[in-house]
Amino acid sequence: MARVDRERIEAATRELIAAIGESVDRPGLEQTPQRVADAYAEFFSGVGEDPLQHLGEGMPLDPSEAGEAVLVRGIAFRSMCEHHLLPFLGTADVAYVPDEKVVGLGRIPRVVGVLAARPQVQERLGEQIAETIETGLGAKGVLVVLDAQHACVTARGTRQAGSTTVTVASRGILRNPLERAELFALLGKGPQS
C-alpha cells in the first residue's frame, strides 16, 4: 500500500498558501500544512490498496438457500475529484446476484471505502466497485448506483448547491433492464435502462 509523503504535502501547502498571498506564519495558518498532510493521508488511503482483500474468500452458498439478490443500500462514501482535488460525498447502493458464494455484509462498504479513497471520478468509482464485486465473488450480476454531491459543482463554477449526480454501473445479468427493474424499485430510483 502506498503512503503519502507528508513532508512533501506540507511543503506544497506552504507554497500554496504563499501563492494565494497569505503567510503560513499567520495565526490560524501555522498548523495548516500539517493538517492538510493529515487530511490527505486519510483522503487517499486507498491508493495502492487492493479492494479484493476486503472480500476475502467469501462463504460458500448452498443453492437451496440462495436468494435472488443481495442489496446493501445507503453506504456513505467520500472521495476526492481528481480534476480539482475537491471532495464529493454521497451514497452507494450495491446489489449482487450470488453464484456460489456470498460475503459478510460489512465487507461491501469496505470495498466502497477503499476505492473511494483515491483521486477519482464518480463514473469510474462505480465501475471499479462493480468489477471488484463481480471478480471477487464470481457474482452472476452486479448493480452499483452512486448518488453524490460534488464540491466542484456546488462550491465553485456553476455553484449548484442542491444538485447531485447519479451514476449506474452494472455487470452480468443485471445489465439487462428487466433483470434490474425490481432492484431499482427497491432503491426508489424508478425504472431505468
* Catalytic residue (choose from 54, 81, 120, 134): 81
Catalytic, 152? Answer yes
Half-sphere exposure of 171 (CA within 13 A, CB side): 23
Residues 163 and 143: their CA atoms lie apart, in Å, by 23
* Catalytic residue (choose from 54, 128, 134, 150): 150
Phi-psi region of 70 (alpha: psi -120 to 50; beta: other; left: phi over 0): beta
**Whether the Cβ atoms of residue 103 and residue 97 lie closer than 8 Å to each other:** no
Catalytic, 150? Answer yes
Catalytic, 160? Answer no
* Catalytic residue (choose from 22, 30, 68, 82): 82
**Whether the Cβ atoms of residue 134 and residue 178 lie closer than 8 Å to each other:** no
Catalytic, 134? Answer no
152 is in an annotated binding site: yes
Cα-to-chain-centroid distance, residue 8: 26
* Catalytic residue (choose from 122, 128, 134, 179): 122
Catalytic, 54? Answer no
Residues designated as active site: 81-84, 122, 150, 152
Bind-site residues = 81, 84, 152
Bind-site residues for Zn(2+) = 81, 84, 152
